[in-house]
Amino acid sequence: MRFVPFVLVLLSACDMFTSAPVRPCTQRSACCKVCDKGNACGDSCVAEGNACSKARGCACDVEEVCK
């Protein structure tokens, strides 16, 4: 029987609660436009800081596109 030091087990448990959740990315081909300046708004982009009043469309923020 193999024993794992308690400290390693405790650190692993802490990482489980402090790590950011993994978000799935969107394939570039699924986006009609990739917004690298500003934010996605419907099927187009708006300048950063401007409010979007459209529903989710086919435009994607560059951060959500798979690398």
Q: Cβ distance 52 to 39 under 8 Å?
A: yes
Residue 19 has pLDDT above 50, yes or no: yes
Q: Cβ distance 35 to 61 under 8 Å?
A: yes
Other CB atoms closer than 10 Å to residue 29's CB: what's the count?
8
Mean pLDDT of 33-50: 96
How would residue 18 be classed by pLDDT, with cut points 50, 70 and 90?
low
Mean pLDDT of 17-43: 88
What's the DSSP call for residue 25? -
How would residue 14 be classed by pLDDT, with cut points 50, 70 and 90?
very low
pLDDT for 8 equals 41
pLDDT for 23 equals 74
